[in-house]
Structure 1
Amino acid sequence: MKISQDRQKSYADKRRKPLEFEEGDHVFFRVTPTTCVGRAIKSRKLSPKFIGPYQIIARVGPVAYQIALPPLLSNIHDVFHVSQLRKYIADPSHIIEPDTMELHDNLSFEVPPAKIADRKIKQLKNKKIPLVKVIWNQATGDATWELEDKMKEQYPDLFSSVSFEDETILRG
């Protein structure tokens, strides 16, 4: 068993190269929920894995670097582990900027609904709950069923152009 482990370790060590950066170097950094950057960037199915380039301000420890972040990402801690960084090779096509959006204090953001697609009434034992189908993103078709009262309170402008009474009479 020990011989097998040593052999695997030697294979891994051959492929591993230590990353070191100098002050003033530019790097990309990884967009993941563990670095809290993934929550600050608008989520899309094919969102970039790395964004940047950003300049290294200082080396904080043997494997941590402080990065100069733009004001858009000011809610994020600016010290990153070397495993979250990739060396930047100068090429203008590599620059990927994060989408602009308003972030809350807990690094969450609000996505406004696009339109209301349908309405139904959920029947419980002795209670009727009105629901509306909200389309959040028309391109991807993301939709959820939400409470009608809550949606009318938060987004009254969505209900001004929608008339479900005619559809309900036709269905009923």
Structure 2
Amino acid sequence: MNEETTVTDVIDGYQVTLVWSAGLSQGGPQRLLIEPLDADNPPPGITSTVLRKVSFREWADKIRDKRQTADAVDAESLRAALADGVADNDRYLAMLSAAYVAAIDAGHKPPTKYLADLLGKSTETIRGHLWKARQRGYLEGHQGKAGGTLTAAGRALLEG
């Protein structure tokens, strides 16, 4: 979840690369790179036809699929952390906060229901855990509104 995700394709003699920054998969890419496949014999120029063939929606779907596979692996870690309890489990709360932000970026609506289904808990239970994460300073955002960011304290727990 902390790396850029790229998709590359070949269109009319050009290599087209789209790059999504870490945690961002909603909407279009942050970077688009179009280069000739054969630098010694490049096509005459990038035309509007080449640009129209760039399938942003298809590639965004591929990015979501790629990240959902990664999320499945992270789900196991999250479940294991939850098994250790919630009361004094700061690592679980930081992991849940990161998963919540990732669920929003991946377009899961509502993100609390997605996490509840993932963990086999009720939506209210997950909301309570997210409230606790906010209280402990791992997640910034407003209670009752989807959205938020993982704080430096949350990132430090995940990296440590």
What's the TM-score, normalizing by structure 1? 0.26
- Higher strand content, 1 or 2: 1
Greater RCO (CA < 8 Å, at least 6 residues apart): 2
* Structure showing greater Rg: 1
